[in-house]
């Protein structure tokens, strides 16, 4: 059994740190208060089901709502899940799948979904292992929740389909047995509640947002190091100048950059005005900061919201075993439009941050603009090629990011016999943003590698202590490029360092 290194409670809202911790084994606690509210919601569901139709428990699904479902509860579970086994494509990263299931567990644990307490307990137990359902990437429109991907996850928890254990893909039943887990037994309400939420979308968006935020911080710091290495005048960061611009993000970024560059001494050899990739960096990075603040708000709301349909709201709590009064409300809390808009905005931010990193690296390797450093930052041009391959790769990364910036939220198509006549496509937007965020991290790592190599190829020692400390951290991790060597691992190493680096 893996060692449990962390724990998450289902009492308060989740955060993205909890989602990241879900990638590895952890303890998910279901306390007495959580169990009581789940059981109260379950009793209310059973009461209301006797009084009239409840979607998914006594009916068909989606456009077939007007037809009766299956009479047997276990059969109604199969009725929910079997037809949703239509996903295609490669499996989602285990990090996303487990984060999505943690979100689903939290939502169900709020007691408004009418599921059994056993479902919540079994889901919580899964996180103590490395079990991760195999979930295909394509198939969700992000309305009525992430139906198809969550159906695969639920089927794996029942022992059907495939799953990963310790990183190995196995038949789900074998993975459950090896992990010491018992297959889930569900009725129609349990099964529908497991699939009728936007948990995959929210998980992918939250993880992508975290990576982009880390890259944004890294690029802010790297711009300062570039400024110092080239001997630029930091006047473009003047506090009065940026206050006059009127945008709070630019002012905040400028404050951070002035802090990083404290003690810098301009060389006096640079042009009066730097290229936009330096001079306009606080405006660009500041606009990104303002946009990311909007994404932050959407992520926080989704992490603290309940996505399901219907929801059950109890009136009198009553004692255990008492009849609970209340209502079932059929609505659209599974509609992932906020996340779709936020993910599309995040894609635009990622594209411009990636463009900034690529343009700064291009400036750095160009002897016409880099203050007299050798081309491609190699000390023996022609005999060695320095950063030439890395620059080619960054061009490809930026092109790939740009290709994926078309807004997914603008692509609504009617489906499901026009029951789902508008859909947000948030799942595609969020998963695409997750992929793009990874490329942005590599672009930041590429720029960092270039800055480290510039110091080797003749750039001055940074005069700002914090810039010098960052350069020293990079140099300690990455040797100079001489002679030429494959640099893919160095780019990844620089990216890993940057995404966790804290300025002194």
User: Which entry of 55, 164, 434, 501 is annotated as an active-site residue?
Assistant: 55
Tokens of 59: 């009916």
Nearest by Cα to 105 from 91, 87, 88, 119: 119
DSSP 302-370: HHTS---SSEEEESS---TTS---EEEE---TT--HHHHHHHHHHHHHHHHHHHHHHHHHHHHH-TTTT
Annotated catalytic residue 294:
no
Q: Are 199 and 307 in contact (CB under 8 A)?
A: yes
Upstream peptide bond of 57 is cis (omega within 30 degrees of 0):
no
Tokens of 338: 């906020």
Question: Whole-angstrom Cα distance, residue 40 to residue 302?
Answer: 24
First to last CA, the chain: 39
Q: Are 111 and 117 in contact (CB under 8 A)?
A: no
* Strands 27-29 vs 7-9: parallel, antiparallel or unpaired: parallel
Q: Are 46 and 27 in contact (CB under 8 A)?
A: no
Tokens of 489: 């691992």
Tokens of 83: 């037809």
Strand partners, 165: 168
The CB density around residue 356, as the number of other CB atoms within 10 Å, is: 25
Sorted by sequence, the CB contacts under 8 Å of residue 189 that are 6+ apart come out as 45, 49, 54, 56, 57, 113, 114, 115
Question: Whole-angstrom Cα distance, residue 289 to residue 268?
Answer: 31
Question: Whole-angstrom Cα distance, residue 485 to residue 491?
Answer: 12
In three-state secondary structure terms, 381 is strand
Phi, psi dihedrals of residue 311, rounded to the nearest 5°: -110, 150
Phi, psi dihedrals of residue 170, rounded to the nearest 5°: -135, 165
Tokens of 281: 């960096």
Phi, psi dihedrals of residue 88, rounded to the nearest 5°: -140, 170
Q: Cα dist. 182→103, 179, 432 in Å?
A: 21, 9, 34
Catalytic residues: 55
């Amino acid at each position: 059994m893996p060692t449990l290194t962390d724990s998450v409670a289902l009492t308060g809202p989740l955060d993205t740190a909890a989602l990241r911790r879900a990638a590895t084994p952890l303890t998910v606690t279901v306390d007495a208060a959580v169990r009581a509210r789940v059981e109260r919601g379950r009793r209310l569901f059973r009461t209301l089901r006797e009084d009239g139709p409840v979607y998914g428990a006594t009916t068909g699904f989606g456009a077939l709502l007007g037809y009766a479902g299956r009479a047997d509860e276990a059969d109604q579970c199969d009725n929910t899940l079997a037809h949703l086994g239509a996903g295609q494509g490669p499996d989602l990263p285990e990090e996303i799948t487990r984060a999505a299931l943690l979100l689903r567990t939290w939502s169900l644990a709020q007691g408004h979904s009418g599921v059994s307490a056993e479902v919540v307990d079994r889901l919580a137990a899964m996180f103590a292992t490395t079990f991760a359902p195999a979930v295909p990437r394509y198939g969700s429109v992000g309305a009525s929740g992430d139906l198809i991907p969550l159906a695969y996850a639920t089927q794996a928890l029942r022992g059907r389909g495939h799953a990963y254990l310790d990183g190995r893909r196995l038949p789900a039943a074998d993975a459950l047995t090896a992990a010491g887990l018992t297959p889930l037994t569900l009725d129609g309400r349990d099964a529908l509640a497991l699939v009728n939420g936007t948990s995959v979308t929210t998980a992918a968006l939250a993880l992508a947002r975290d990576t982009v935020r880390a890259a944004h911080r890294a690029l802010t710091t790297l711009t300062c190091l570039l400024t110092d290495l080239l001997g630029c005048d930091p006047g473009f960061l003047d506090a009065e100048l940026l206050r006059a611009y009127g945008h709070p993000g630019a002012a905040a970024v400028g404050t951070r950059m002035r802090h990083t560059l404290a003690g810098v001494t301009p060389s006096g050899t640079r042009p009066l005005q730097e290229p936009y990739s330096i001079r306009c960096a606080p405006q660009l990075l500041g606009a990104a900061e303002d946009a990311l603040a909007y994404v932050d708000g959407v992520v926080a709301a989704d992490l603290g919201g309940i996505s399901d349909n219907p929801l059950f709201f109890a009136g009198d709590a009553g004692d255990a075993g008492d009849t609970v009064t209340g209502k079932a409300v059929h609505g659209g809390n599974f509609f992932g439009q906020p996340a779709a808009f936020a993910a599309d905005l995040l894609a635009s931010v990622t594209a411009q941050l990636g463009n900034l990193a690529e343009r700064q690296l291009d400036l750095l390797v160009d002897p016409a603009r880099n203050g007299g450093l050798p081309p491609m930052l190699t000390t023996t041009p022609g005999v060695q090629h320095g950063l030439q391959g890395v620059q080619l790769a960054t061009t490809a990364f930026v092109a790939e990011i740009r290709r994926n910036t078309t807004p997914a939220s603008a692509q609504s198509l009617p489906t499901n016999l026009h029951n789902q006549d508008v859909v947000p496509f948030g799942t595609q937007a969020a998963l695409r943003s997750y992929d793009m965020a990874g490329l942005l991290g590599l672009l930041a790592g590429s720029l960092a590698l270039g800055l480290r190599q510039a110091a080797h190829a003749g750039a001055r020692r940074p005069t700002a202590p914090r810039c010098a400390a960052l350069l020293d951290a990079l140099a300690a991790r990455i040797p100079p490029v001489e002679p030429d060597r494959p640099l893919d691992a160095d780019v990844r190493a620089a990216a890993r360092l940057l995404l966790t680096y804290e300025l002194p």
